[in-house]
Amino acid sequence: MKAIEKIVIAGIVGTTFMTLYSYFKAKKENEEYVEPVMLNKLIDKSPNLPSARNEDSHPAGWGLHYGTGVVFVAAYWLFWKKVLLNPTPGRVLVTGIISGAAGILVWKLLFSQHSNPPHNDRKGYYRQLMYAHIIFSLFSLLTYKALSLKEETTAAVIQ
């Protein structure tokens, strides 16, 4: 399996678990914390973009969210391949915190630059984003490692 295939699969798996956590926190705290929904609200409220009328399921927000997850894993691959091949608990935590900080900065920028940003508890949102990115890192790194191990095992059996 090519590295790009492992990156895409790991990004999808990590993003899925991150999003499940965001749904859980949103429901528990009765706030809007689901990233694709927030993206769709930003798109819908932007005067320069076409409307995303169904904010919960419009593909634009979901595509941007999953695409970003793949980009995060690609960044791990470019800058810190060791974390993908040997995801220790410490590396998962550090990667999650770095990713969470980057995610929070991007969301702060999106909200501050938008003329009519959606409303939610920002402090709670940023806190859940940090945990969500740690979950993302855990599942994306473990998935990449599992795909790599499967590949190594298959190659060893063939030889």
The whole-angstrom separation of Cα 122 and Cα 77 is 31
Q: What is the pLDDT of residues 62-110, one digit of tens each?
A: 999 999 999 999 999 999 888 888 899 999 999 999 999 999 999 999 9
Tokens of 95: 């990667």
Cβ(3)–Cβ(77) under 8 Å?
yes
User: How big is the chain, counted in residues?
Assistant: 159
Residue 90's pLDDT is 95
Residue 151's pLDDT is 67
Closest CA to 102 of 85, 121, 126, 77: 126
pTM above 0.85, yes or no: yes
The amino acid that residue 10 corresponds to is: A
Q: What is the DSSP letter of 35?
A: H
Higher pLDDT, 31 or 47: 31
pLDDT tier at 152, thresholds 50, 70, 90: low
| Mean pLDDT value across the chain | 90
**Rounded average pLDDT over 46-58:** 69
Neighbour-count burial for 33-48, b at 16+ CB within 10 Å, e otherwise: bbbbbbbbbbbbbeee
pLDDT over threshold 80, residue 24: yes
Residue 84's pLDDT is 85
Residue 141's pLDDT is 96
pLDDT over threshold 70, residue 158: no
Residue 81's pLDDT is 87
Higher pLDDT, 71 or 152: 71
